[in-house]
Every structure is written in C-alpha cells, then in structure tokens.
Amino acid sequence: MPEAATEQHLVVAIDGPSGSGKSSVSRAVARALGAAYLDTGAMYRALTWWLLAEGVDLRDSATVIAKAPDCPLNLGLDPDRAVVTVGGRDVGREIRSERVTGQVSTVATIPEVRRLMCRWQRRLITDAASTRGTVVAEGRDITTVVAPDAQVRILLTASEAARLARRAQQTHGAVDDRSLRATRDLVVERDRVDSTVSAFTSAVDGVTLLDTSALDFDASVAAVLDIVRASA
C-alpha cells in the first residue's frame, strides 16, 4: 500500500465531528496553500447516494460490501472545484441531502467498506501529493488510520452548541429552535454512531487539538494555517 507522504511532500490531515467546520476550513486552507483538497466524507456520502439509487437495502451489509468496489465515483481535488461525480453525474448537492446524511453512517460503519475507502483515500493522497506537492485531507479517521504519518495532523472540534448552530445555518438557513431540533438528531446521532469506528472525539498523540467554538471562519482558517507553518 502506498505511503501517504514522502519527505518532499506535505500532507495535512484534519479530522473532526459534524459541524466542526472541517470541510469549509480545510478547503480554504488548501486554497491558501495552493494544495490539493480531499473531502473523504464526500466519498462515503457519494457511495451511500449511489447504493440508494441502485435500490440497495443499506441494512444488507453483504450486498453493500459486494457492490461498493463498483461505485463509479470520481472526486475533484481542486479546492476551487471539488466536484463529486458518480457515473459522470454531478451529485455534489444530492449527497448533502437529509436522506443521505441520515443514512451514510450505516454504510460508513461497515468495516469492509472502511478498509476499501482507506485504500482509495491513501491512493488519492499519494497521487495528489505527488502532483501538487501539498494535500489537505479531511474526514474522521485521517489522522489516525488513513494518513497517520502525515506531517501535520489536526483534530478540529467545537462545542456541541456551536456545531449545531453551524450545521443548522448551513442546512436550514436559520438558527432558531425548530432548525436546531431538526439538526440535533442528524449531527449528534451521526457522531455517536461514527465514533464506534473512528476516533474523532479526542486527539491522540501527535495530533494537535484546535477548538473553534469561539472562532469565526476566518480565524479558524488562520489558526490551522498557523499550525501548518509551525510544523514546516
């Protein structure tokens, strides 16, 4: 299996729970560094979307495992155009739907699927680092499983209240009681389920913990860039 990085290449691995801001912050960091950007969560979402489109019962893990390698997924690694296509169809908006969000953990917690995705993601990181020199990869197990040898490893976190507010604003365009209630089940329950297979709730040795609860977007990006520069 290819290494995630070499001495000439810089890999920035960022993990975090739902609503921590890891996707938007990681993309902005990649843009600032002139780096490739890999959203591993989008890969799980795209696979889930495709399986649902294929009529697969996601509770049938044997069928999910058998079909997953055939998913015609393609991921753009340009932070300015991180397009996600399945069979040539742009599914960037559809994979963020509540239907996919509510069911992606069913797929993502299957060990065989995670091993498949890990191989896929390592290959993408290696290829991106070779062509762009630097890659920012984000998800839930990048710092611990996919790229544990990355030169920069960060766990981006925030309080539950901050995460719920961010995701409610993103999904519903408001941060009122109704939006927060609708968001809570998707965020808290997904994190609970995913935490059974990924360590993204606390920083392991060698991983820098960054709490963005009191930081706005620009300050969060600046804080990550400071960590990257300090590690260079």
Structure tokens at 158: 């925030």
Nearest of 53, 57, 132 to residue 86 by alpha carbon: 53
Cα angle vertex 124, ends 118, 127, to 5°? 140
Distance (Å, whole) CA 229 – CA 226: 5
**Alpha helices (H) along 109-159:** 111-132
DSSP 189: I
Nearest of 107, 115, 130 to residue 4 by alpha carbon: 130
Domains in the chain: boundaries: 10-224
pLDDT score of 196: 59
Residue appearing with tokens 């709730």: 201
pLDDT score of 3: 41
Structure tokens at 208: 């820098």
Helix (H, G, I), strand (E, B) or coil at 195: coil
> How far is residue 141 CA from its own chain's centroid?
9
- Give the H or E element holding residue 36: strand 36-39
Walk across the sheet containing 152-157 and list its strands. Answer: 36-39, 134-139, 10-15, 152-157, 208-211
Distance (Å, whole) CA 148 – CA 151: 9
Structure tokens at 194: 């995913």
Homologous superfamily (CATH) of 10-224 is P-loop containing nucleotide triphosphate hydrolases (3.40.50.300)
pLDDT tier at 5 (50, 70, 90 boundaries)?
A: very low
Contact 94, 47 (CB under 8 A): no
- Mean pLDDT over residues 176-188, rounded? 71
Distance (Å, whole) CA 225 – CA 211: 14
Cα angle vertex 114, ends 39, 5, to 5°? 55
Query: Which pLDDT tens digit goes with each residue over 122-173?
Result: 999 999 999 999 999 999 999 999 999 999 999 999 888 888 777 766 666 7
Query: Which pLDDT tens digit goes with each residue over 56-93?
Result: 999 999 999 999 999 999 999 999 988 999 999 999 99
- Report whether pLDDT(26) > 80: yes
Cα angle vertex 176, ends 171, 181, to 5°? 70
Q: Give Cβ neighbours of residue 146 (< 8 Å, ≥ 6 apart).
A: 4, 13, 40, 118, 121, 122, 125, 137, 139
